[in-house]
Amino acid sequence: MNKKLLSTTLALSICAIAIAPIYKHLDINANTIKNVSATSELKQLESEKLLLKKQLLNAKDKVISTENDVKAAIAEDKTKTQTKANDNKTIENKTTDNKSSLNTKTSNTTTKTTLSKPKSKTSTNKTVSSSTKTSKSTTSKSTSSTTSSKTTATTNKSTTTNRGTTSTATSSKVSAIISTAKSFIGVPYVWGGTTASGFDCSGYIQYVLSKNGISVPRTAAEQYKVGTSVSKSNLRVGDLVFFTTYKEGPSHLGFYLGDGNFIHASSSKGVTISSLNSNYYSSRYIGAKRVIN
């Protein structure tokens, strides 16, 4: 009996000794699994954090894009409004020119009617001259004086008429040139471009003027050498306004439209209307030339 008890105790002791390392190993493995699980969760959290950060950046980009679209739309509306105002101003100027032309014609008609009156006096003087030699001499002097006055009046009339015709013709040509220039709004900018499919600044000026019978050189620097110099305070619609941009001297130009605006082939917007008073162009303005006479 004691032998059996001893054998059983011995067997249990051996089992305990054998199981102890296994239990210890299992405990270590459990801790390792916990550490791995924590690391995995940490990585997952970091991934989610990066994803959220990316989503925030995308949302920010969308907001910026929307703001830019709104700004572009506002700028476009402003340009359209300004263009419409300029068109109305051009029509108003044309109406004023037509009224001026009509007044000139009326004035010429009045002058012509007034000049027809001395003829009756001359006829009377000639009748009196047939009576006596003395009267004839007096009448001769009177006739000579009347003829001289008539010649002077006719010369003045001719000069006035020519001036009116020249002014009207110039105004008409300016209107035609500006109309041609505006017809290309939206045409893209092309370096060295000289056709309606794409212009650079001087190519645009040369093309529009040639369409209206005026020849100018090819480049901005050469175009600055032609025409009559005009001060900024005396600018008229159709004058060429020059700027220094990417290099020294005249390197950009456009047609003056009045009210401080000009039309040109912009390197960033193509053919468009801009303001002389903007910070960019006012600081780069160098002069103006008049080539439409």
CA distance 204 to 211: 11
Q: List the Cα angle 254/186/224 in 5-degree steps.
A: 15
Q: CA 63 → CA 52, 59, 70, 74, 208, distances in Å?
A: 16, 6, 11, 17, 42
- Mean of the pLDDT values across residues 191-210? 98
> What residues contact 263, with CB distance under 8 A and at least 6 apart?
178, 181, 182, 185, 254, 255, 257, 271, 272, 273, 274
pLDDT level of residue 120 (50, 70, 90 thresholds)? very low
- Mean of the pLDDT values across residues 138-157? 43
Q: Give percent of the chain above pLDDT 90.
A: 42
121, pLDDT greater than 60: no
148, pLDDT greater than 50: no
Burial readout 178-216 (b: 16 or more C-beta within 10 A, e: otherwise) = bebbbebeebebbeebbeeebbbbbbbbbbbbeebebeb
pLDDT level of residue 116 (50, 70, 90 thresholds)? very low
Catalytic residue among 207, 251, 252, 256: 252
What per-residue confidence (pLDDT) applies to 73? 67
Mean pLDDT of the chain: 75
Cross-strand bridge partners of residue 265 = 271
Token couple for 268: 């960033």
Catalytic residue at 201? yes
Catalytic residue among 125, 142, 263, 264: 264
129, pLDDT greater than 70: no
pLDDT level of residue 257 (50, 70, 90 thresholds)? very high
- Choice between 218 and 90, residue whose per-residue pLDDT is larger: 218
Catalytic residue at 25? no
pLDDT level of residue 227 (50, 70, 90 thresholds)? very high
Cross-strand bridge partners of residue 82 = none
Instruction: Tell me the whole-structure pTM to 2 decimals.
Output: 0.46
Catalytic residue among 178, 201, 216, 235: 201
155, pLDDT greater than 90: no
What per-residue confidence (pLDDT) applies to 195? 97
